[in-house]
Structure 1
């Protein structure tokens, strides 16, 4: 019986050590992706405000997107912001902001068969101009778009805080990855 308890205890200790090691590797691996090690030639960046030129206006979208993309690059790419002769220039505009129904539901008990959206989709499209003064061949002009599907029960304030934040983050991830993947 004592032999069984000792073996069981050894197995538990081994599992604890393996679990600790796995968590260590997981956290170490995650941490290495938060900051980007850039070529030392890149020191400065300028990210201009992204105006909202879409037909449907969200009064906070331009400011929110501009701030979020600036924070992403300044916090994760170890670059200094500048307004004169940047090594990296990022500018653009929000060209589309739309909320459209995706799933329709109807109530057969209501007079006239009350038809309404069960789910809606938020789509944001951003045009980006990226200029690299050190390696001009890496410069580009691209359009980025993403969407989020959500319940039609959400009110406009919830949509404009949670869903817009989600879509902005996805678009900014794409932009960031397209630019820093070349370094």
Structure 2
């Protein structure tokens, strides 16, 4: 009986010492407390081969990604943003990969590069910070497929990856 009491006491002590002291669903991540709103300027297109509407699509994807995955809200007319994002698409290229006999490609790769500058500014808290995000992402496809028929699907995959790169950089605080 005495051994059983000691085992129960040790288990109780061990389990309660590992128990969390508080549980919260509030975002207390690495974002500075003063950062509440963000503004994203439309991306510039410096890549000559990119579709004309692609900068707008990527800009909107990044805005949605930040709003859905961080506590930052899109600033309105009467709201001063503490986070400002500017940038441009620097590369948009289709290149052959997986060459076969006779220099024919079995697959092609669509590669997109974007560079963004992120500015953090909270004058009341004396917090300013600046960072650059350079993201190069790609999607492969079968060379028998016409790029124009699958381009929107490939760009959707690439946009998801670029958005994640931006969010990771904003939340990393380094």
Question: Quick check: TM above 0.5?
Answer: yes
CA distance in 2, matches of 1:97, 1:145: 10
Q: Quick check: 1:125 aligned with 2:113? A: yes
Q: How far apart are 1:56 and its partner, in Å?
A: 0.9
Partner of 2:63: 70
TM-score computed with the length of structure 2 as normaliser: 0.72
Q: Equivalent residue for 2:153?
A: 162
Cross-structure match for 1:141: 132
Backbone CA RMSD of aligned residues: 2.3
Q: Given that residues 133 and 169 in structure 2 are in contact (C-alpha distance below 8 angstroms), is that contact kept between their aligned partners in structure 1?
A: no
Aligned length: 142
Return the offset for 1:39: 4.4
Unaligned runs of 5+ in 1: 1-31, 107-112
Greater fraction of residues in helix: 1
1:182 alignment counterpart: 173
- Structure 1 residues 43 and 122, CA gap change in structure 2 (3 angstroms): same
Aligned residue for 2:154, secondary structure, equals: helix
CA distance in 2, matches of 1:60, 1:155: 19
SS class of match (2:104): strand
Moved segments of 4+, more than 6 Å: none
CA contact (8 A) 2:133 2:166 kept: no
CA distance in 2: counterparts of 1:101 and 1:147, whole angstroms: 12
CA shift for structure 1 position 67: 0.7
Aligned to 1:48: 41
Q: Distance in 2 between matches of 1:36 and 1:47?
A: 23
Residues in 1 aligned to 2:167 and 2:158: alpha-carbon distance in whole angstroms: 14
Q: CA deviation at 1:52?
A: 1.8
- Partner-residue secondary structure (3-state), 1:71: helix
* 1:4-24 Cα deviation digits (max 9, x unpaired): xxxxxxxxxxxxxxxxxxxxx
Summarize deviations over 1:130-182 as a string: whole Å, max 9, x none: 00003323x11232111122211222234311111111111110111011122
Deviations 1:106-133 (A, max 9, x none): 3xxxxxx5x4221111110001110000
